[in-house]
Structure 1
């Protein structure tokens, strides 16, 4: 953002510009930065189709959003995930900078966006695998609507989210506004994002992204 932009506009203008830049950067990240540098290994993820929201799944009402606080850990009981969370920014290409592959068990949180539990869409990213082993979000596509995600925050509160949608979106159909925008205004929402689809040895990248959408349904100390 230029010096003129920082000093000339209203908060609304600045917020709008920041959101537009974020969406562009995240779209690029969704198409490119999630690539895993495989060699000759076979694909290690079986994500092939959108799960969506099955008919007949009753979901609880949303809870009132919390104030902002840094996330410290994410727990996904159904997947056996209990992982530390680290703040991440944007990389040189304008996309979220995920944790390095040496920290494949760590989840990255976009710190310039919403905090998990606060109003808005909190964004968390993690690798599906590395060249040698599964990573923190290896089983992410198997989570189902109605299941839980818990985020332990620095204020001592645990934000409990309920999954309401799971998608596997092909890269050529990636829509940043749909993926990163709120599903319902006024809620505290959470997006968990990783690579999915099949691994293309020619492009050395995965063909899709797994997108899990959840919303705040409760808190505990």
Structure 2
């Protein structure tokens, strides 16, 4: 039922590895939350890209719609990013023993994890969705995440039948020595419903089995479809 975010292209030998590179950034999330109100929401993860630090920003001539007010709480069930071909179930996840967001197991590499102790997608704050970039042999759900661009749409189908529609406004690749948890996980504007999609990026180190960076796609709520009547 799940669809990878990119065709299963042939990978260089040894390049596809476990998503251990995600842990360092999400460990910072655990530390960052010590000094924050956890319900105000944090961030996400992405796929390989060239270079360790990059920022796409807003392309000239791409108007972004106004934000709409936050929705009532409801757990996410499915993520869709039409421009990237991502259609994937969303499951709740917590922090592991190291204080990092625990992504879905590798057996479910085409599933997205939602940080259940943060904001729900569509509610005030920044909701965090994390996913694997690859496994030892294949691309995973967020393999193409670094190809996202501002102005593109993200939809989150929620447990009450409603659909939260987000517009991407920022795509960044954070290297280890440039990583800022506040920028990655914190809300950009007070009172707004925001979303972060997060995975590994940068270059892969075969010796350590880690990536050098994390991709963070940021979006904000611009539209919504109502849920089932109570």
Structure showing greater Rg? 1
1:178 shift after superposition:
1.0
Which fold has the larger relative contact order, with Cα–Cα distance below 8 Å and residues 6 or more apart in sequence?
Answer: 2
- Aligned-partner Cα distance in 2 for 1:178–1:61: 21
For residues 45 and 194 of structure 1, the distance between their equivalents in structure 2, rounded to whole angstroms, comes to 9
Q: Choose from 38, 62, 65 the match for 2:67.
A: 62
1:95-174 maps to which residues of 2 (within 5 A)? 95-174=100-179
> Out of 203, 214, 220, which is 2:219 matched to?
214
Note the C-alpha offset of 1:21. Answer: 8.9
In the superposition, the TM-score normalised over structure 2's length comes to: 0.77
Cα offset, 1:56, TM superposition: 2.9
Change (3 A) 1:171 1:151: same
Deviation (angstroms), 1:115: 0.1
- Matches of 1:143 and 1:91, distance apart in 2: 28
Structure 2 CA distance for aligned equivalents of residues 90 and 21 of structure 1: 16
Q: Quick check: 1:85 aligned with 2:90?
A: yes
Displacement of 1:19: 5.0
Structure 2 stretches of 5 or more lacking a match? Answer: 1-31
Secondary structure of 2:155's aligned partner? strand
Report the Cα distance in structure 2 between the residues aligned to 1:45 and 1:200, rounded to whole angstroms. 12
Which structure has more helix as a fraction of its residues? 1
Answer whether contact 1:197 1:207 (CA < 8 A) is retained: yes
Q: Give me the whole-angstrom Cα distance separating, in 2, the residues matched to 1:61 and 1:200.
A: 41
Aligned mates of 1:117, 1:54 — CA distance in 2: 25
RMSD, aligned CA:
2.3
Deviation at 1:18, TM superposition (A): 5.0
Structure-1 residue corresponding to 2:189: 184
Distance 2:194 2:35 in 1: 16
Normalised by the length of structure 1, the TM-score is 0.80
1:46 aligns with 2:49: yes
Q: Which residue of 2 aligns with 1:6?
A: none
